Amino acid sequence: MGFLDGKASGVAKLRMPAEVTQCLRDLLCVGGKRLRPLLCVTGWQAAGGCGITEAVVRVAASLEMFHTFCLIHDDVMDDSSSRRGAPTVHRRLARHHGQGRGTLAAERVGAGCAILIGDLALAWSGELLHTAGLTPRQLDAVLPLVDDMRSEVMYGQYLDVTAAGRSSTDVDQALRIARYKTAKYTVERPLHIGAALAGAQLSVYEALSAYALPVGEAFQLRDDLLGVFGTPEVTGKPILDDLREGKHTVLAALALQRADRDQRRALHSLLGTPSLDEVEAAHLREILTATGARHEVENMIHTLRTQALRALDTAPFPPSATAHLRHLTGTALARTS
Amino acid sequence: MGFLDGKASGVAKLRMPAEVTQCLRDLLCVGGKRLRPLLCVTGWQAAGGCGITEAVVRVAASLEMFHTFCLIHDDVMDDSSSRRGAPTVHRRLARHHGQGRGTLAAERVGAGCAILIGDLALAWSGELLHTAGLTPRQLDAVLPLVDDMRSEVMYGQYLDVTAAGRSSTDVDQALRIARYKTAKYTVERPLHIGAALAGAQLSVYEALSAYALPVGEAFQLRDDLLGVFGTPEVTGKPILDDLREGKHTVLAALALQRADRDQRRALHSLLGTPSLDEVEAAHLREILTATGARHEVENMIHTLRTQALRALDTAPFPPSATAHLRHLTGTALARTS
């Protein structure tokens, strides 16, 4: 927050609109699970890092700032209406700048502002990183991982965007999206980056990956289930969005594989319908359950979870770090939001 | 290009869509004035840098990659159809991924892809910079300038987006947008960054600003004139876009100040009309000329140009750098594209 305070006062000096830093502050403060900063700190501890230094805190903060960028741009791309229980940035700014503009023009301004605020968050996440006071050795270890993380999540998101609205039975493709968009980005890379700060050996990176990839994929599968069967008041996201976008998820791919002819026809015609109503959504949920896809995804989560926990059994981490990862696994995969 | 080759082969290994690097390559190769890399090298020479080192080339390349990010996101925000004489990235990808999708869905996918490719270009511009092999001293000097440059252009663009479609007589605001969006971003910061690589003294930075700010503002004023009165075949941009967006330019602000009642009514009703046709555009051009606004902007360009050239008379640069800046001034301000 100190970083944003600095930016806000710089902004005031330049007579620039304060809403930019305000939007970021609101999104950063309103909640979120802070999963990536937590995992970054845990990676640091797993590799033998002691205490929590200022440098580790700033790197963790830079991950959260980067994530804020991801959320803002994702919401523009999906045209989501709410995030963490509040209006999304592009919706909020469309209203703010909408006076005297037609609906389309207001939406365009809102989207433009949100794209730019996301761009600033991305640029500022880099700034937080290179002003974190890392040693040259830490920088050499961390920067390539951050570069990879950025490219991976953007690619994963790219696959997600281009696959949306094209229902298919391709489970592998859906899993690849989950791996890039979530497993690597949300779990593996934050752990690696924290470990890199502590000068980790190769064996530590490998043990972190053996835990992170299955747990991360399971996390995305849980997310897919919540996106369809969750309670909007708890998730903070509108419940129909995933179905309306026709996201190419493992859940949808499995359902299409197992559907009979009528079910398949309903899935193809309803998934990705922007005007989908509650009745149609209920019909889709019935099919996703009746085909056994929902149950199968729950099974996959269970298997991946077991795999992740087993990887911890032989991991060369201090016991406190292992305990922390076990605890995180529970909360991340049994979550309701 | 070597950097993009590396990214392209990494992409192939991951079975990711090759269109991402292809779009960036096409945009980087198709033309553009390479103004920022040129100015970066000139700043290096102005501060006494000798020859052109690999590090300078990579920093210059990172500026061009950053600029590519700016162009892609700008085109999404403005929904421009062409850039440098070719379809914009979001239009190209809307067509590429459009098969079997409705128009709206295809546009949405195109915009999503372009936002992500822009994000990648922004992330990769950072990667090009921190893998440029700079000394710790060079990094310390350059990184804060790059941070400022990024924030400044995004803020300038933010002002531009929120002011569009709100015709007003506020010339100062229009000049502030020109300063942030163009003068600092396109001219001052690239010069400063090059100078920082050569370990410039404060006097060099000041002399560069004294030249860069007027020439950069003049550059934007020339751009505004070309956006309304230019030849699309030469500029590579559709001629009606600026008028249809109702960009808050000095040209429009001056015209509103000087307009009689009928002219003012026409300006308010036509500027920012998305469906503006050729006849209406011709009418707007007539008013912009008849009010004397066009002439006044030409005068401002002349004054700013004189101011910039005068700053060079006393600048503490090697003669070759001064000569180069004089030459650039001529081509940048007398340009037709």
B100, B119, B161 member nearest A112 (Cβ):
B161
Q: What is the pLDDT of residues A267-279, one digit of tens each?
A: 999 998 888 999 9
A337 pLDDT higher than 70: no
Domain B2-333 has CATH 2.60.120.10: no
Q: How much is the ipTM here?
A: 0.91
Q: How confident is the model at residue A331 (pLDDT cuts 50, 70, 90)?
A: confident
Task: Specify the higher pLDDT residue, A62 or A99.
Answer: A62
Q: What is the pLDDT of residues A241-275, one digit of tens each?
A: 888 888 899 999 999 999 999 999 999 999 988 88
Q: What is the pLDDT of residues A212-250, one digit of tens each?
A: 999 999 999 999 999 999 887 777 667 788 888 888 999
Helix (H, G, I), strand (E, B) or coil at B87: strand
pLDDT at B1: 58
Q: What is the pLDDT of residues A182-207, one digit of tens each?
A: 999 999 999 999 999 999 999 999 99
Q: How far is CA A173 from CA A155, A180, A264, A282, in A?
A: 13, 11, 19, 26
pLDDT at A330: 87
Distance CA A66, CA B122 (A): 13
pLDDT at B234: 72
DSSP lists the bridge partners of residue B87 as B82
A9 pLDDT higher than 70: no
pLDDT at B167: 81
Report yes or no: B227 and B237 within 8 Å, Cβ to Cβ: yes
Residues in B closer than 8 angstroms to A177, CB to CB, are none
pLDDT at A187: 96
Q: What is the mean pLDDT of residues B218-241?
A: 84
- The verdict on B85 touching A (C-beta cutoff 8 Å) is no
Share the mean pLDDT of chain A. Answer: 91
Percent of residues, chain A, with pLDDT higher than 90: 72
Using left for φ > 0, alpha for ψ between -120 and 50, and beta otherwise, residue B271 falls in: beta
Percent of residues, chain A, with pLDDT higher than 70: 94
Size (chain A), residues:
337
Check A155 against B11: CB less than 8 A apart.
yes
Give A8→chain B minimum CA distance, Å: 12
pLDDT at B60: 95
Residues in B closer than 8 angstroms to A119, CB to CB, are 69, 73, 118-119, 122, 154
Q: What is the mean pLDDT of residues A305-311?
A: 96
Report the candidate in A98, A111, A93, A105 with the shortest Cα–Cα distance to residue B275: A105
B79, B119, B274 member nearest A154 (Cβ):
B119
Report the candidate in B116, B189, B201, B112 with the shortest Cα–Cα distance to residue B148: B189
Distance CA B89, CA A231 (A): 38
Helix (H, G, I), strand (E, B) or coil at A272: coil
Percentages helix, strand, coil for chain B, rounded to the nearest 5? 75, 0, 25
* Ranges of each domain in chain B: 2-333
Residues in B closer than 8 angstroms to A140, CB to CB, are none
pLDDT at B252: 95
Residue with tokens 């700043």: B43
Helix (H, G, I), strand (E, B) or coil at B178: helix
Share the mean pLDDT of chain B. Answer: 91
Give one DSSP letter per residue of A42-102, joined into a string.
HHHHHTT--S--HHHHHHHHHHHHHHHHHHHHHHHHHT-SEETTEE-HHHHHHHHTTTTS-
Give B112→chain A minimum CA distance, Å: 5
pLDDT at B196: 98
B7-12: long-range pairs with CB below 8 Å, 24+: B7/A151, B7/B124, B10/A151, B11/A155
DSSP lists the bridge partners of residue A82 as A87
- The verdict on B107 touching A (C-beta cutoff 8 Å) is no
pLDDT at A85: 83
Distance CA A113, CA B77 (A): 9
- The verdict on A147 touching B (C-beta cutoff 8 Å) is yes
Q: What is the pLDDT of residues B40-84, one digit of tens each?
A: 999 999 999 998 899 999 999 999 999 999 999 999 998 988 888
Q: How confident is the model at residue B16 (pLDDT cuts 50, 70, 90)?
A: low
Size (chain B), residues:
337
